[in-house]
Amino acid sequence: MQGLLHRVSPQALRLLVLVGVIALLVIFFSSQIENYLNGRLFNRISSSVAVMALVATGQTLVILTRNIDLSVGAVIGFSAFATGSLIAGLPDLHPVLLVLYAALVGGAFGVVNGLLVAYARVPSIIVTLATMAIYRSFLVEYSGAKSIATEQLPQWLTDFPNMQLFSIGDFQFRAGFCAALALVVFVHLALSRFRPARQLFAVGSNPEAAHMAGINAQRVVFTAFVLSGVMAGLAGFMFLARFGNITVVAGLGFELKSVASAVVGGVNIFGGSGTVIGAFLGTILVDLIETSLVRWQMVSEFWREAVLGALILVSVATDTIFNRRLASLRAARAHRVALEKKEASA
Amino acid sequence: MMKRLRSWEGFLLLVLMVIVAVSASTSPQFLTVGNQVNLFQLSIEKVIVALMMTFIIINAEIDLSVGSMMGLSACAFGWMVQQGVDAGLAIAICLAIGVVGGAVNGWFVTALGLPSLVVTLATLIGFRGLARVLVEDRGINAFPAWFNALGQQGLIGPLPFALVSFAVLFVLLYIVLEHSGFGRKTYVIGSNREVAEFAGIDTARHKMILFIGSGAISAFAGLLYAARVGAVRGDVAFGFELDIITMVLLGGVSIFGGSGNFLGVGLSILVILSLRNGMGLANITGNTQTSVIGALLILSV
């Protein structure tokens, strides 16, 4: 067991634990709820994860740099509304252009956040706390007390999230979920293989060392916020496609849920470590619990938030304790190896 | 004196005078006693919690769970009254819930060393969840008459109980923060926790006390809210934490801890309340008001 602990990296172990917890939960709820594990459960979770995973990915990029983006919920709402009114006015617009528009709207908000945090040096929690309110009021002004209804949208858009790409048995893999998954995998590969993306970790784990190593920390933080905005913009597109009806409260509360998903997925809130795959699994775990509790007869569905709060605490606490243990275990081993070497040479 | 005026507090005072002058000249009702009491009364619960939040942020921590604790306390009160528990006993139990909730936050922060941002984010969701478990999707309103009267009628002249308790708490906590050893420790721990440790301060105990205080004062504010509105629902005080933190930060308290004072927070509360009230009288919508305050917040750093 100890040998295993030394060989597997903490990050990989974390992912394994998450997968294990998800599997255990599925087994547990299957024994509790009749007809639980079927295609409908998978569809329900996968279509909601498709929206949330994008936000959580963007949030992870920002958290990696020791910052936080609380404005994502408002950005999702604005992007969903703006994209919806664009396509309602121009029904023949090419889908790719519409997606680009959503990303652009989100990116523009991200640029404002990034400029204020990276270049004006205002703490991100203050900036995004304020822009959360400001962007939301833009949405209220822009919407003029109207809302977007499903009937105004073209058929292809509302069909998109439910379009089945392929299926394994009962489990349909729908386009929205696959697109989100592809994006997560792409960002993960970029973060682990692509040199500029590694700078996010450098800036987050030690800003001074990163500066000494010649990394332009301001640009890195700025980029993280722009990307988070773009991701939130894309999530707004998915939100529009999934729900169709968009009011001024669209995306409310997504900021805290995206932080929760990332943290449950093992992203360190102090920056410098974490993976987007982890955040993705965190999103699934959070959603699995919410969806299952609604259907579980034993407890009232109103327990789901209380359970979610406890889950975040437990997962962060075990993570911290476990990592400390692991660090001291490794230190002890290194010490022992050094001693043995000394004895051998003497 | 000049130096004092050029500080952030001086700027807030200037902003406040401009707001009052403009509001008073555009709307004759602005400066009436009734409107001024009303202006305070409508946000009194947030303002009370902001006092304790000042300690927490100066201590370089944050408590995001205050809004949910207010909701939990209000809903627990409503639920207990509905179950036939004596209202006086229910109030005591609600305050105890605040203490326990604060202690939970404090324990995870001090004993496990988790960041307060994460711990209180989790309890923000968790406490709200418990509130919803208690009242589900109902509204509860059959409170005793004396309880509602406490929230809605004047206690001393036109000043209701909540306003009087705010005034008392403000003076009391001002003395604690700026003229007591406990207050000095709050600043020292906030500016450099390691130095504070080496100076022999029990920082864990100090933080624990602050989180318990924050929980208790939030529970108290939740009860005030229930009394003023006369009814509770699962979403009582939803999202209040952001307004409360804004009040503190706009008052010149550094989010990194170690600096800020009660004068600034007091002025910032007045600025925010008068701004909202003045803009409200001028028919400007709540969302625009919020974004003006948001812009002020970014400027404050």
- Residue A40: band (very low, low, confident or very high) from pLDDT cuts 50, 70, 90: confident
Q: pLDDT exceeding 70 applies to what percent of chain B? A: 98
Higher pLDDT, A151 or B287: A151
pLDDT of residue B11: 86
* Continuous segment of H or E residues that includes residue B251: none
A306/B130 CB distance under 8 A: yes
Mean pLDDT of A59-80: 95
Position A1 pLDDT exceeds 70: no
The domain that holds B212 is classified in CATH as 1.10.3470
Look-up: residue for tokens 């969903």?
A80
- Residue B1: band (very low, low, confident or very high) from pLDDT cuts 50, 70, 90: very low
* Continuous segment of H or E residues that includes residue B200: none
pLDDT, tens only, B111-139: 988 889 889 988 998 999 999 999 888 88
What CATH architecture is A2-345? Orthogonal Bundle (1.10)
Distance CA B252, CA B267 (A): 10
Query: E-strand spans in chain A?
Result: 164-168, 171-174
SS3 at position A37: coil
pLDDT of residue B179: 94
Residue among A313, A319, A324 with most chain B CBs within 10 A, to mutate? A313
The A residues from 216 to 275 touching B (CB cutoff 8 Å) are 256, 259-260, 263, 269-270
Position A246 pLDDT exceeds 60: yes
Domain assignment present for B205: yes
Domain assignment present for B67: yes
The A residues from 3 to 42 touching B (CB cutoff 8 Å) are none
Locate B246 and state its tokens.
């804004």
Per 3-state DSSP, chain A is made up of helix, strand and coil in percentages (nearest 5) of 75, 5, 20
Give me the domain span that covers residue B234.
47-295
Higher pLDDT, A21 or A316: A21
Position A343 pLDDT exceeds 90: no
- The interface predicted TM-score of the complex, written ipTM, equals 0.79
pTM (2 decimals)?
A: 0.85
Complete DSSP assignment for A54-91: HHHHHHHHHHHTT---TTHHHHHHHHHHHHHHHHHH-T
Mean pLDDT of A317-324: 79
- Tell me how far CA of residue A328 lies from CA of A6, A160, A333, in angstroms: 12, 50, 9
- Residue B3: band (very low, low, confident or very high) from pLDDT cuts 50, 70, 90: low
Triad B236, B107, B89: Cα angle to 5°: 50
pLDDT of residue B280: 81
Of B62, B125, B291, the CB nearest to A308: B125
Distance CA B55, CA B190 (A): 9
The residues near B177 (Cβ < 8 Å, ≥ 6 apart) are B54, B55, B58, B183, B186, B261, B262
Of B130, B136, B294, the CB nearest to A130: B294
Of A130, A140, A300, the CB nearest to B136: A300
* Contact status of B103 with chain A (Cβ, < 8 Å): no
Residue numbers in B near A121 (CB within 8 A): 301
A269/B298 CB distance under 8 A: no
Position A4 pLDDT exceeds 80: no
pLDDT of residue B239: 79
Domain assignment present for B11: no
Kindly report the average pLDDT of chain A as a whole number.
Answer: 88
pLDDT, tens only, B218-274: 999 999 999 999 999 988 888 788 889 989 999 999 988 999 999 999 999 999 998
Look-up: residue for tokens 């919407």?
A143
* Alpha carbons within 13 A on the beta-carbon side of A86: 19
Domain assignment present for B24: no
Triad B172, B175, B177: Cα angle to 5°: 105
- Residue B18: what residue type? V
